[in-house]
Structures are given as C-alpha cells and as structure tokens.
Amino acid sequence: MTNRTVLISGAGIAGPALAFWLHRYGFRPTVVERAPGLRPGGQAVDIRGTAREVIERMGLSARIRARCVAERGMAYVAADGGVSCRMPVHAFDGEGIVAEIEIERGDLARLLYEETRAEVEYLFDDSIETLTEDGDGVRVTFQRAAPRRFDLVVGADGMHSRTRALAFGPESAYVRPLGAYLAYFSTPYPDDSGWFLLHNAPGGRVVGTRPTRDGRTSALFSFVSPPLDVDRRDIAGQRRVLAERFADVGWRTAELLAAMPDAPDFYFDLYGQVRMERWSSGRVALLGDAAWCPSPLTGQGTSLSLVGAYLLAGELAAADGDHRVAYRRYEEALREHVRRGQELPGGGISGFLPASRTAIWLRDRSMRAMTSRPLRRLTARAFFSKADGLALPEYAGSR
C-alpha cells in the first residue's frame, strides 16, 4: 500500500471518524486540532439514515445510544410559556420512519476520540500553517510542532477550514451566507420538561432551550442579519451582539442571557453552506463541513460527516492508497447524497425565523397541519428521507 501517512485537520466529528476507519485499513493517521482539547457541550446532533449503518459497522451504536439525549420533541411557545404548537418525536410513528439518534455534539466527539486515541496520534493546540506538495507527498509546517511530511492531507476542520483556504483559495469563494446567525451555550438551569422549546419574536429572532443528558438546559439564539463586523474569535463582541439583539425579547430570554458570560462552551457563527465543484486538489482532500457544510437548518451535518468519513477511508483502502483513484470515487459515491442533504427545509431561514407576528402565527398553523393525519406521511418524507437512499459499499474489513 502506498500513501499510508495521512494528516487530518480537525478533531470534531469527521476527523476522528476518518481516523477510525483509516487505522482499521492499515493507514497511519495523525489528527491536528487548533483547540487545546476536545470542545465540550454543543447542541444535540442527529444521526440519521445511512449514518446509522455507519455507526453499526464501527461497533459504536450501543455506546452512542447509551449517551443519547432523551428529548420528547420540539415545541413553539409564546412569551408566557404557553405552547403554540408541537412536534413530538413519535409524531411520525407508523410512517416508515426510523427514529433518529440524538446525542450532544461534545459527547459524540469524545466517544470517537476515546475510540481512536490509543492508535491515532493527536496534536492539540496546534494548526497547519503551510502545505507544500511535491511528487512524493506534502510538507506541512505547523504553528507549534516541527515541520513534517505526510503522504496525504485531509481537511475536516469545519466551515471556516484553514486547510481549504491553503489548498483551494479564500473562504469567500466557497462559503455562502444564508442571512442569519446562530449561538448556543450551556446553562446551569435544570430542565425537567424534556422538550426542545423555541420562542419566536418579531424581527426574525428565536430563543430556544434544549435538555442536556445531565438534566440541565442548553440555550440557543438565532437571528436574521446581514454579515456582521465581528471577528469569529471575539467572544466578548459576540456576546454583546446577542445581548443587544435580544434585549426586548420576553419568555426566558433575560434569564438565559444572564448565564451567557459563565458558559464554558459559548459558540457563535453565521448560518452558511459550503458549495464546491470538487473536494480534492492533488494530495489534499476535504471532508465534512469543510467540503459541503449543509448548515444546522438541515440537521444533516453529522450524518454526512460520518458517511463521508466511511467512504473516503474505504475508497483509499480499495485503491491501495492511490489518492487519484480514491478521491475521484469518493466524490462520485457521495456527491448526490450531499446535494440532497444540503436542501433546506421548507421556508429556509424565513421559515425558521419569521419576520412578523403574522408570519409566526402562520408558521404555527402550518406546523400543526404538518403533524395532522392527512399530511403526516408527506411531512415525514420531506423531513427525513434526505438522509436515506445511499447504499454503503462493502470494503474489506469494514465490518
């Protein structure tokens, strides 16, 4: 086998999942991560459709299910806390829908890390500075570590991928803002409702709470906005933006904002999608949000990352490390599945963040209709079928 050493940038979901499969097939992966350690917390993420088969083949299904968030469903609430409409997790029972698996992002990342750390080299608190490719490999310089050579490099470092910028060009060529921002963080408040609760306010704003596995509350804030002049690493500036945008919103907003300064896992970013004509350049390939970020609105990001990691590693193994063959087959196998996964739900941003009280009222009525018996089957197909439809190839050693 040629091209056995693989540098993976990013220790979120896609990177460790790829490292898992590469090690199984006899490669020597190294994972570099900018953060000083695993990022804790995060909202619950979904494992749907074909991705469920991937975790079965990894032998991790039982362990992942044991760490699932016990969520009863999603509900929209008024300022006084009264429920306007709801979508229980069992709303589509009997419609051929297999319930998705929901797990906190930090729990899934830790499980993947724990499964791979004994055999995979991890470099935390470091990042790629330069990539120089020649006929035999890629010379990589790091922010902290000494320069090294690798046969292949994979960028699994998110929507704002440093690897993509180095190998393909500036972010502005690939990231398409969707006109809104998202923030979430953990709070110390207990949650005994078991519901993902959302409160919309005029002006395209929503505040939400979700139960965590330890019985506490995770807060979510989203709002419509053109691009903001706030640096991605300016946490204080991002917190000021949220406090200003939601100062007049009722329900539990003031309480949740009060917990924001002490949150250890504060996250703030734009809603965006990554669109690329190709996911590889020479010896460098992209995976997960770095290649095709679908945006959190789709609920497909984690599932696409798990499926993509399986296919990329499997094709490299099937091609005996020949990246030219493997990268092409990887894209051919996954491109249509990604295209479907990037389709936004009905209404897109405006459906999730209605601008006026009238629009909020119409959305609530629409949601009640979607879960009614006449429309239940159509709703189930629209929301859940996009994660299915890809038959996973069998690679030697994949089970």
33 contacts 19 by C-beta, under 8 angstroms: no
Q: Report the alpha-carbon distance of residue 343 to residue 295 in Å, rounded.
A: 10
**pLDDT category, 380, cuts 50, 70, 90?**
low
In a domain, 49, yes or no: yes
pLDDT digits (tens, 9 = 90+) for 283-301: 999 999 999 999 999 989 9
The pair phi, psi for residue 53, each rounded to 5°, is: -70, -35
pLDDT digits (tens, 9 = 90+) for 167-201: 999 999 999 999 999 999 999 999 888 899 999 99
Q: 177 - beta bridge partners?
A: 272
In a domain, 313, yes or no: yes
Q: What percent of the chain has pLDDT over 70?
A: 93
Q: Is the pLDDT of residue 146 over 80?
A: yes
Sign of the CA dihedral running 311, 272, 298, 234: positive
**pLDDT category, 371, cuts 50, 70, 90?**
confident
Q: Report the alpha-carbon distance of residue 393 to residue 329 in Å, rounded.
A: 11
Q: Report the alpha-carbon distance of residue 268 to residue 219 in Å, rounded.
A: 12
**pLDDT category, 381, cuts 50, 70, 90?**
low
Query: How many structural domains comprise the chain?
Result: 1
Q: Is the pLDDT of residue 139 over 80?
A: yes
DSSP state of 390: -
Question: What's the chain's Rg over C-alpha atoms?
Answer: 21
Q: How far is CA 34 from CA 271, 278, 295, in A?
A: 22, 25, 22
Q: Report the alpha-carbon distance of residue 120 to residue 126 in Å, rounded.
A: 16
In a domain, 48, yes or no: yes
Q: Report the alpha-carbon distance of residue 84 to residue 82 in Å, rounded.
A: 6
Task: Give the predicted TM-score (pTM) of the model.
Answer: 0.94
Instruction: Give mean pLDDT, residues 154-162.
Output: 98
What's the CATH code of the domain at 336? Answer: 3.50.50.60
Q: Report the alpha-carbon distance of residue 31 to residue 121 in Å, rounded.
A: 6
Give me 41's structure tokens.
């917390």
Q: What is the mean pLDDT of the chain?
A: 92
303 contacts 387 by C-beta, under 8 angstroms: yes
Predicted confidence at residue 346, as pLDDT, reads 78
Number of helices and strands in the chain (H, E): 13, 18
Residue by residue, what is the 3-state secondary structure of 162-183? HHHHHHCCCHHHCEEEEEEEEE
Q: Is the pLDDT of residue 97 over 60?
A: no
Please report which helix (H) or strand (E) contains residue 274, including its range: strand 267-274
DSSP state of 237: H
Please report which helix (H) or strand (E) contains residue 308, including its range: helix 301-318
Range of 164's domain? Answer: 5-71+101-173+273-345
Q: Report the alpha-carbon distance of residue 148 to residue 188 in Å, rounded.
A: 43
Q: Report the alpha-carbon distance of residue 92 to residue 112 in Å, rounded.
A: 30
The pair phi, psi for residue 24, each rounded to 5°, is: -60, -35
Please report which helix (H) or strand (E) contains residue 330, including its range: helix 323-341
Give the residue, 88 or 147, on which the prediction is more confident.
147
Q: Is the pLDDT of residue 50 over 70?
A: yes
In a domain, 113, yes or no: yes
In a domain, 363, yes or no: no
In a domain, 43, yes or no: yes
Q: Is the pLDDT of residue 79 over 70?
A: yes
Instruction: Give mean pLDDT, residues 206-224.
Output: 93
In a domain, 95, yes or no: no
CA 115 to mean position of chain CA atoms? 20
Q: Is the pLDDT of residue 360 over 80?
A: yes
In a domain, 201, yes or no: no
User: What do you get for the CA distance between the two ends of the chain, in Å?
Assistant: 20
Q: Which residues contact 176 (CB under 8 A, 6 or more apart)?
A: 272, 273, 274, 275
pLDDT digits (tens, 9 = 90+) for 219-259: 999 999 999 999 988 999 999 999 999 999 999 999 999 99
